[in-house]
């Protein structure tokens, strides 16, 4: 396979060195974008009379033929090539002869790869946003279906206060909404054309970068050629956003793993998202959730890899930057697949509402409500907290729960208790008392569901 740079060298590259520097195994993922970028570049060269119209037309036809053959499988990438740019140009030379060599006029592999990566990431961001929407839809589906169902809320994995299950689900809905907003913001920084920066200093040819931006549908054009070819901030930012998404997916996975255990027994996962044991016939393992939880570490590692690769590189391009592709490509695939699997798992799970409700019995999760009751009667919160703590200790000693106490027993601790205290102790009463904006009261949650529906409807219309 002919190199694009052999003139200055007396000796052939060592085969071991060839294998070491080659990126074709992974950067062939960029082939569509490399060809589309090359077609636009050839059109621009012809328009600006840097090459003749006839030469441009032949180059464009040859590139379109290669792309068509790649799509139908009649042409495959040669894994002996140095990189995808070399393979495309050599394949073009086979088709149209030495005219193919004119394609590289006024550009470098440095601005070429930056272009390919930006075009690739634009498409993948859109796909990931759609996958996020599907997961948000699944969470909203469950929130509507189980509106009114009460469950224990937790801090330190201990029962804290009763909340609506729908409120819990909506917490993840809004986490994933922030993830989607981060991607929208990132897209603006990805959607910048680097082509025309050449190796690092720009070019002396009379190119038309505005034309290239229009042809390739870029919103902006890079303002500094050194920055354009040396920048991988947009990939690092994507990996950072991906790590955040995987963090949220991992936390939700942990909830699902806990809730589906016999100890919690809050949900039943659909068989299609579980596997069994090779030795224990009774097992139904939440493998999908466990793998998502595990793959989060893989994406975190990719972020750290690229931060480390880029941390001390002088401007402009260095071959170290070849190491950006594998972390990027793998993170994209892990994230897309994790979102798809999580959406299916959430939408098909069955909730054991009676078990959730029964788990609140005797858990003292209404204790804060009793303290708030005393505060509303005029007691300072710290004093109220002390009183209710003593009530809980009394109940523990007597093997009672707060709901079983008589008014007389309440008044033994604080004279401010009146008969109405007996009306605030049920999980329903506690939940519906939390009517501050964003709280778990059913009216609030109904409003949150409507707001979530508006968000989804607005995004789906775009």
Terminal CA-CA length for the chain: 45
Catalytic residue among 74, 156, 204, 436: 156
156 a catalytic residue: yes
Question: How far, CA to CA in Å, does 274 sit from each of 266, 288, 456?
Answer: 16, 6, 29
Q: What Å distances lie between residue 52 and 41, 99, 139, 300, CA to CA?
A: 13, 11, 57, 49
DSSP assignment, residue 292? H
Say which DSSP state 137 is in.
H
Q: Are 99 and 45 in contact (CB under 8 A)?
A: no
The tokens of 76 are what?
């495959």
Strand 192-193, strand 220-221: pairing: parallel
Neighbours of 196 (CB within 10 A): 25
What are the two backbone dihedrals, phi and then psi, of residue 357, each rounded to the nearest 5 degrees? -65, -45
CA distance 250 to 344: 15
Comparing CA positions, the residue from 316, 321, 333, 292 lying closest to residue 120 is 333
Handedness of CA 156, 161, 165, 167 (dihedral sign): negative
Measured between alpha carbons, how far is 59 from 35 in angstroms, rounded to an integer? 11
Q: Which of 68, 219, 261, 277 is catalytic?
A: 277
Torsion (CA) 130, 135, 136, 137 in degrees, nearest 10: 90
In the numeric block, which tokens belong to residue 435?
């009517």
Half-sphere exposure of 68 (CA within 13 A, CB side): 6
Annotation marks residue 261 as catalytic: no
Q: Do the Cβ atoms of 56 and 42 come closer than 8 Å?
A: yes
Residues 6+ apart with CB under 8 A from 216: 36, 37, 40, 115, 119, 193, 195
Name the residue with tokens 């189980």.
146
What are the tokens at 440?
A: 């778990």
Which helix (H) or strand (E) segment holds residue 71: the answer is helix 53-72
Q: Which residues are catalytic?
A: 156, 277
């Amino acid at each position: 396979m002919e190199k694009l740079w052999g003139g200055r060298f007396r000796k052939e590259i060592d085969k071991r060195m060839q294998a070491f520097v080659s990126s074709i195994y992974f950067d062939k993922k960029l082939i569509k974008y490399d060809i589309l970028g090359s077609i636009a570049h050839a059109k621009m060269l012809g328009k600006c009379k840097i090459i003749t119209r006839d030469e441009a037309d032949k180059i464009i036809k040859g590139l379109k033929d290669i792309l068509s053959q790649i799509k139908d499988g009649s042409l495959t990438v040669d894994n002996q090539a140095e990189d995808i740019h070399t393979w495309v140009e050599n394949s073009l030379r086979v088709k149209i002869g030495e005219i193919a060599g004119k394609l590289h006029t006024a550009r470098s592999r440095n601005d070429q790869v930056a272009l390919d990566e930006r075009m690739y990431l634009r498409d993948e961001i859109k796909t990931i946003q759609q996958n996020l929407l599907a997961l948000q839809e699944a969470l909203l589906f469950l929130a509507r279906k189980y509106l009114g169902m009460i469950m224990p809320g937790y801090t330190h994995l201990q029962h804290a206060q009763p909340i609506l299950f729908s409120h819990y689900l909506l917490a993840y809905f809004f986490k994933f909404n922030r993830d989607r907003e981060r991607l929208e913001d990132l897209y603006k920084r990805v959607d910048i054309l680097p082509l025309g920066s050449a190796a690092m200093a720009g070019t002396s040819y009379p190119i038309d970068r505005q034309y290239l931006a229009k042809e390739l549908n870029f919103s902006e054009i890079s303002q500094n050629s050194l920055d354009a070819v040396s920048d991988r901030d947009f990939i690092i930012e994507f990996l950072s956003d991906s790590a955040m998404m995987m963090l949220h997916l991992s936390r939700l996975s942990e909830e699902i793993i806990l809730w589906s255990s016999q100890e919690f027994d809050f949900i039943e996962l659909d068989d299609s998202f579980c596997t069994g044991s090779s030795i224990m016939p009774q097992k139904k393992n939440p493998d999908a959730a466990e793998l998502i939880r595990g793959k989060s570490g893989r994406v975190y590692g990719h972020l750290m890899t690229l931060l480390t690769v880029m941390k001390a590189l002088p401007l402009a391009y260095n071959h170290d930057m070849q190491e950006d592709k594998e972390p990027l490509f793998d993170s994209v695939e892990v994230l897309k697949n994790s979102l798809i699997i999580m959406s299916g798992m959430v939408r098909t799970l069955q909730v054991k509402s009676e078990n959730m409700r029964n788990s609140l019995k005797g858990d003292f999760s209404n204790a804060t409500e009793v303290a708030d009751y005393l505060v509303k009667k005029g007691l300072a919160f710290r004093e109220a907290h002390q009183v209710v703590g003593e009530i809980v200790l009394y109940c523990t000693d007597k093997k009672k729960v707060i709901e079983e106490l008589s008014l007389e027993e309440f008044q033994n601790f604080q004279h401010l208790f009146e008969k109405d205290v007996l009306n605030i102790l049920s999980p329903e009463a506690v939940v519906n008392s939390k009517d501050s904006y964003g709280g778990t009261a059913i009216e609030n949650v109904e409003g949150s569901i409507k707001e979530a529906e508006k968000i989804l409807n607005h995004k789906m219309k775009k």
